[in-house]
Amino acid sequence: MRSRFRPLSPTLALLLVIALSGCSRTYSEHLLDAQNAEQQGNMAAALAAYQLALERLPRPDHRVASTIHLRIGLCHLSLAQPNEAFLSFQRAVVMDASNLEAHRRMAEMLLVGGATEKAAEELSAILRKDPNDAASLGALGVAYASAGDVKSALTLLERSFSINPGDHQVSIPLAELYNRLDRADDARRVLLQSATRNAGVGDAWLALGRLEEQEGQAAAAESAYRGAVTADDSVRNNLRLAQFLQRSGRIRDAEAILRRVDAKQPHSPSALADFLLVTGRAEAAASIYQGGLPATADKAIVARSIEARISPGTADADSAARSARRVLLEHLDRLDPATRSVLQAEIALREGDLRAAEVHARAAVQHQPYSVPALFVLGTVLKQSGRRAEAKAAWNHAFQTNPDYIPTRLALTAENVEDGEWVTAEEQVMPVVREEPANLQALLLYARTLNGQQRWPAAESIARRALQVAPRDPEAHVALADALIGRKLYGDALLSYQRALAFDSQSIPALQGLTALYRRGALTRSAVQRMELVATAPPVSTALLEVAGRLYADLGHLADARRALERSLELDPHRSSAALALVQLALKQKDTRTAASFAAVALGKVKPAVAELIQGREAELRLDRAAAIRHYEAAVRLGEGSGAAANNLAWIYAQQGIRLDRALELARRATELDPKNPAIWDTLGVVHLRRRDFTAATEALTSARALSESSGQPGSARRHIYKRLAEAYTGAGLPDRAAEVNRLARE
């Protein structure tokens, strides 16, 4: 229950007036100073004056002293000093056991602290003296509700509400109780009655808005949220209205409300910028943050301004890092050492310098061991370094410290998604979607959890909501396509994959999804030729050309594959994915010159991690395994994101029978990065075979088999998987299954 700072009641004011009579001027002055400071909202000054008045109380008067201790406690409460407040309330009760307000305040704090039984004792003591004390009846009802005694809670809250229908701190928990009992009409009646009687406070209107939204009454919900703003045109109420509009897909209306919010707080105009940042419009957010920096000393604005500059997609890594460093240096004096270290780690991450990022992240944790942002960024660095277990430990520590920190929740959700723990992932991401309904990353993760549970209509709904927030986001189009495939709407899915590639022609998930979708049909050379013709007709699609090349390779038409991929790269020299596909094709053909040629083309166009990957493949083709290992390890260290470097390195170690622990770590990482790739699960199975862990090998190779069959891989690729699965079954003592899979391999 939220504490309220009430003005002096007539009784308490009378006590102080009586005490003033005959008192020294010094005492009177301090007391009046305290009251004036209270009225002006200067609680620090009021606290100091009350303490001086207490020291100069001219004669022992326990009732007056108790009243002053109560006011001191309320000042502490307003200054966010709960321990000091509770001690002051205790002193007030000791000085005068009949001080019911002090008892009530103690009870409220005990409730907040979870000490329900002690709170009930305090409230019962009040009610013995005044059975019709509405506030205490309500507080005791909340206490019983927290303890699970619904019947007693309902009786007490209803009685309190009948005495004072305007108290939203009673009407809201009573409505929540009715709602739990499926009495929505009673909940609506109580909230509406409270809202109309409590002018100037929007809490009951907000609760009514949530109720109407839950009941699917969008128009009534909007009316209630707007009623909250009319009652109290505060930043909080406007934000709740904006969030409702975001949930309804009315993004422009939400932005208009957020502009109003920023107008109300000109010294810290960040509401619209925060919204733009979570909806993927980092450059626009950075511009607004920059405008607010000169006028504010708020370190949170400085930090978000820097983070907006280094968000993916704002600029190339070097210019983004330079811009972020400039802002950091300009506002260094506003930041504490831990925050400075966190921001330096994030900038180093944007540059791909994982070693420097880890140094700064660990420095931040050393400065503040329980800093949630520091633990989060440390986990991010460790994750990108391939140390997943350590990353999860850092994120779990951060989550236990503060479960409401959204970046940690999303990071842990992503881990659950990678592990296929769909229900846990949904539970983790749902509070974020409620709190920030336009958070693009949260919506995309939510869509993936729903797709993972095969809840296709719900996944489609969330994916479309993500597209309302960010219509050009390729990942949102891919999530929608995945849901449409689940509903067997293949034509619509095809369009969604194509839209994803239109916005990001090198989107790996879109390329993989589109390729897999085409494999579902009766794939023939003539069908792929028609695709190639469509791709080269104006407007030319280099992405579709690359897909055609990959499909030709699947069918074994390597010359056709090379032609399509070369044409794709010719039309778009920056198309590193096509260059990588050509290097891989040259590996199949054992064409050293071609592989080296296209590796050289790709090297200058891609990130350092991908460049190392290409050089590793080229070295592998030359049978220079030492160089291949060196380049692949560098690619993994630099955070190569496709899983190819980790997979290839694990394969080399497994084939040579060396560093099998490292091979297992790498293979697992590759499956996390590309969980739908049968070749990667095949590598994991081979690593387990070399470690003679046949049970784990059968699990990995069974996944490889299922993915291979569902994606329409050519028979030659499946044959190798079947043979290795038969080997795993034999090792696990399952000869019948081994014989069955060997038969499939022969067929």
Domain count for the chain, please give it: 1
pLDDT band at residue 455 using 50, 70 and 90 as cut-offs = very high
The better pLDDT of the pair 144, 328 is held by: 328
CB atoms within 10 A of CB 728: 27
In percent, the amount of the chain with pLDDT more than 70 equals 90
| Rounded mean pLDDT, 100-109 | 82
**CA–CA separation, 661 and 680 (whole Å):** 17
Residue 269 belongs to some domain of the structure: no
Residue 330 belongs to some domain of the structure: no
Residue 426 belongs to some domain of the structure: no
3-state secondary structure 331-373: CHHHCCHHHHHHHHHHHHHHHCCHHHHHHHHHHHHHHCCCCHH
**CA–CA separation, 302 and 325 (whole Å):** 12
pLDDT band at residue 378 using 50, 70 and 90 as cut-offs = very high
Check residue 399 and give its pLDDT: 94
pLDDT band at residue 256 using 50, 70 and 90 as cut-offs = very high
pLDDT greater than 50 at residue 183: yes
Check residue 19 and give its pLDDT: 47
Check residue 376 and give its pLDDT: 96
pLDDT greater than 80 at residue 233: yes
Residue 685 belongs to some domain of the structure: yes
Residues 6+ apart with CB under 8 A from 588: 553, 558
- The answer to whether 619 and 631 have CB atoms below 8 angstroms apart is yes
pLDDT greater than 50 at residue 730: yes
pLDDT band at residue 714 using 50, 70 and 90 as cut-offs = low
**CA–CA separation, 687 and 682 (whole Å):** 9
Closest CA to 103 of 118, 123, 85, 88: 123
Closest CA to 14 of 61, 60, 67: 67
pLDDT greater than 50 at residue 3: no
Distances (CA, A) of 664 to 52, 642, 696: 69, 17, 11
Check residue 477 and give its pLDDT: 94
pLDDT greater than 90 at residue 112: no
Task: Report the sign of the C-alpha dihedral through residues 621, 625, 627, 629, in that order.
Answer: positive
Residues 6+ apart with CB under 8 A from 564: 532, 535, 545, 546, 548, 549, 552
Residue 695 belongs to some domain of the structure: yes
For the segment 602-621, what is each residue's pLDDT rounded down to a tens digit? 555 556 776 787 778 778 77
| Rounded mean pLDDT, 172-179 | 91
Residue 731 belongs to some domain of the structure: yes
For the segment 509-545, what is each residue's pLDDT rounded down to a tens digit? 888 888 888 877 767 888 888 888 878 888 788 888 8
- The answer to whether 334 and 299 have CB atoms below 8 angstroms apart is yes
Start-end of H helices in 622-659: 625-637, 644-656
The better pLDDT of the pair 601, 664 is held by: 664
pLDDT greater than 80 at residue 353: yes
Buried b (16+ CB within 10 A) or exposed e, 202-223: bbbbbbbbbbbbeeebeebbbe
**DSSP letters of 426-441?**
HHHHHHHHHHSTT-HH
Take residue 330 and report the two structure tokens written for it: 């300009």
Residue 740 belongs to some domain of the structure: yes
**Domain span at residue 710?**
676-747
Check residue 293 and give its pLDDT: 60
pLDDT band at residue 596 using 50, 70 and 90 as cut-offs = low
Residue 729 belongs to some domain of the structure: yes
CATH code where residue 739 lies? 1.25.40.10
For the segment 208-231, what is each residue's pLDDT rounded down to a tens digit? 999 998 888 989 999 999 999 999
pLDDT greater than 70 at residue 350: yes
| Rounded mean pLDDT, 670-686 | 85
| CA 69 to chain centroid | 43
